[in-house]
């Protein structure tokens, strides 16, 4: 009886204080996989830097020797009011040349500020061929910022979110990744 009593006390104590069984070996990432992940992160960081440094803004530096002609001013105002109907348009000085991401046909750019309903908006218009229009980079940024604004608005929805809102947020996340991959760039800009 004492043996049974002793065993009934000793066995649980042994179990309680015994070292844990060896865990199953954890597969470690190979150094090759770690190197690949590091390389991908560095590429993403470079791309992120490239994208954010290309955000259209009022430019400083050398301007075009010949300022805008009356015909160009009318074309710029027409394009700006097409993009933002009814806006008051202010045109900055024009500069020669464009980033290569706006294509080989881009010869000049101008910063345009618009004002409508208490909101200021700045745009870079590019002269592509003989026409003042949105360049590829500015068009990308307008699409990206509209998507980010919608995401911001939907994220304010308290949790648990309705399924339709969560589905739209998922779509916007996928669009965000796609837009990031499709950012207009060229080798010259990335160096």
Chain segment 83-121, per-residue pLDDT in tens: 999 999 999 989 998 888 898 999 999 999 999 889 898
Q: Of the ranges 45-49, 71-75, 181-185, which one carries the lowest mean pLDDT score?
A: 45-49
pLDDT of 66 higher than 60: yes
66, 96 Cβ separation under 8 angstroms:
no
Q: Say how many CA atoms lie within 13 Å of 124 toward its Cβ.
A: 25
What's the rounded mean pLDDT across residues 138-153? 94
Q: Are 145 and 130 in contact (CB under 8 A)?
A: no
Q: Which long-range contacts (CB under 8 A, 24 or more apart) does 70-74 make?
A: 72/127, 72/132
pTM of the model: 0.72
Residue 189's nearest CA partner among 135, 127, 147 is 135
DSSP state, residue 61: S
User: If we measure between CA atoms, which residue out of 101, 111, 104 comes closest to residue 132?
Assistant: 111
Is it the case that residue 68 has pLDDT exceeding 90? Answer: yes
Tokens (6 digits) for 127: 């002269």
The tally of CA atoms less than 13 A away on the side-chain side of residue 72 is: 18
Rg from Cα positions in the chain: 30
Length of the chain (residues): 191
Please state, rounded to an integer, the average pLDDT across all residues of the chain. Answer: 83
């Amino acid at each position: 009886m004492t043996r049974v009593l002793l065993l009934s006390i000793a066995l649980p104590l042994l179990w309680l204080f015994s070292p844990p069984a060896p865990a199953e070996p954890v597969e470690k990432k190979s150094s090759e996989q770690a190197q690949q992940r590091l390389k991908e992160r560095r590429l993403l960081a470079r791309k992120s830097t490239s994208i954010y440094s290309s955000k259209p803004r009022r430019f400083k530096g050398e301007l075009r020797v010949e300022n805008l002609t009356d015909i160009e001013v009318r074309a710029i105002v027409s394009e700006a009011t097409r993009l933002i109907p009814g806006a008051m348009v202010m045109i900055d000085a024009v500069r020669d040349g464009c980033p290569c991401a706006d294509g080989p046909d881009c010869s000049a750019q101008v910063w345009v500020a618009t004002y409508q309903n208490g909101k200021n908006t700045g745009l870079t218009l590019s002269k592509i061929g003989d026409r003042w229009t949105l360049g590829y980079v500015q068009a990308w940024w307008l699409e990206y910022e509209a998507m980010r604004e919608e995401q911001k608005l939907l994220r304010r929805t308290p949790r648990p979110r309705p399924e339709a809102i969560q589905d739209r947020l998922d779509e916007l996340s996928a669009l965000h990744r796609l837009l990031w991959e499709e950012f207009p760039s060229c080798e010259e800009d990335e160096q």
